[in-house]
Amino acid sequence: MARVLKASEESIREGAEIIRRGGLVAFPTETVYGLGADSLNPEAVVKIFEAKNRPYFDPLIVHIAEMEDAFKLCLRVDARAKALMERFWPGPLTLVLPKRDVVPDLVTAGLETVAIRMPAHPVALSLIRESGRPISAPSANLFGHLSPTEAKHVERQLGDRVDLIIDGGRCPIGVESTIVDLSEDEPILLRPGGLPLEDIERIIGKVKVVTSMDRPRSPGQLKHHYSPRTPLRIIREEVFKVPEGVRAGLLSFKGSPARGGFAVVEVLSPSGDLREAACNLFPSLHKLDSLGLDVIYAEPVPEEGLGRAIMDRLRKAEGLT
Ligand code: TXA
Ligand code: MG
């Protein structure tokens, strides 16, 4: 089994040493746990793909701890990118920018662009600083499965495939970073996430939202991503009844009293706070998924603020979009 150590100066130092030697370290960020390797070492980066069973056409995010590293890795950091970095880094925002040659093709899946972000988690930042390397890290789950927001989720999915898991408790935001492509004139939202689109548009103006009908520019947009093993259906009916003989769980937004017949109910936010709901989304799904239910029904949430990221993950878990 993997070694799991509580976050501390010592465990971070050990994690940094493993990164420098080309190993894999799972670590907490403010969004989800990442599965990290030295971005500049292709042999280390390969291990990420192997551990996750991730297809090589799916590029990785590069995590940095200092603003100046963005300039070392990206060919052009234009005024829009600078404005967003200054306002929202460290934080749950990933920018896609033209890359420099130092970034290995394996990291970007051969693309001319690189996805880059500065996480707002003290453990992640210390690990990057201490290792002295940019760290490539996808979410620390098997490809296509639920993202991990606690160390035990990582342990369950990736167990002995990582050299060290640093346990920093629960991730405070709980959904992945928002990804904006700034490599061309028109900014494009590739993935709704922990930073609301509204906040981004306040700084750089209109951002184009690509729907699943468009070409998947970001493989995170593939359907059947973020999937529990239990089938998941979004409730679209006004009045809903669990079919006879079906053992169903409910992922409820505020805990509507009107819905009966469920074996178990997980409430995302009793007060209807979308931030709280996003934070509880993956933990609740992990829990429901572990109960051997026939089906999980999910109530839709309003598509504003973090609600956009929640609905994106639910639709992908449903796999119908
Ligand atoms: O919050 C997060 O972003 C977490 C934590 C660990 O930082 N990481 C994460 O990584 O969600 P991952 O690999 O699960 O998702 C990254 C997404 C992928 O869907 C990938 O396709 C997209 O970023 N991506 C990476 N590089 C890209 C590029 N050059 N162009 C377009 N999309 C890119
Ligand atoms: Mg992922």
User: Tens digit of pLDDT for each residue in 36-60?
Assistant: 999 999 999 999 999 999 999 999 9
Band (pLDDT 50/70/90 cuts) for residue 216 is low
29 lines ligand 1 (CB under 6 A): yes
> Ligand 1 centre from 190 Cα, in Å?
9
Are 284 and 251 in contact, with CB atoms under 8 Å apart?
yes
* Spatial CB neighbours of 122, under 8 Å, sequence gap ≥ 6: none
Closest residue by Cα to atom 17, ligand 1, is 220
The residue assigned the tokens 């026939």 is 294
Atom of ligand 1 nearest to the CA of 34: 6
Q: Residue 94's pLDDT is what?
A: 98
Does the bond joining 90 to the residue before it have cis omega, within 30 degrees of 0? yes
Q: CA–CA separation, 121 vs 27, rounded Å?
A: 10
Decide which of 222 and 94 is more confident. 94
31 lines ligand 1 (CB under 6 A): yes
Contact 146, 226 (CB under 8 A): yes
Q: Does the pLDDT at position 1 exceed 80? A: no
3-state secondary structure of 10: helix
Assign 283 to helix, strand or coil: helix
**Among all ligands shown, which has an atom nearest to the Cα of 31?**
1
- Residues 159-179 pLDDT 10s: 889 999 999 999 999 999 999
Alpha-carbon torsion (91, 154, 317, 60), positive or negative: positive
Q: Whose CA is nearest to atom 32 of ligand 1?
A: 218
Please say if the pLDDT value at position 223 is more than 90.
Answer: no
For ligand 1, say whether the CB of 220 is within 6 Å of any of its atoms: yes
Q: How far is the CA of 300 from the centre of ligand 2 (A)?
A: 22
Q: How confident is the model at residue 270 (pLDDT cuts 50, 70, 90)?
A: very high
Closest C-alpha among 193, 231, 219 to residue 52: 219
Q: How far is the CA of 138 from the centre of ligand 1 (A)?
A: 6
Q: How far is the CA of 299 from the centre of ligand 1 (A)?
A: 26
The pLDDT score that the predictor gives to residue 2 is 77
Does ligand 1 lie within 6 Å of residue 139's CB atom? yes
Q: 133-146, pLDDT tens digit by residue?
A: 999 999 999 998 99
Q: What is the mean pLDDT of the chain?
A: 93
pLDDT digits (tens, 9 = 90+) for 251-263: 999 997 666 789 9
Query: Is the CB of 182 within 6 Å of ligand 1?
Result: no
Contact 94 CB / ligand 1 (< 6 Å):
yes
Instruction: Give the Å distance between the CA of 187 and the centre of ligand 1.
Output: 16
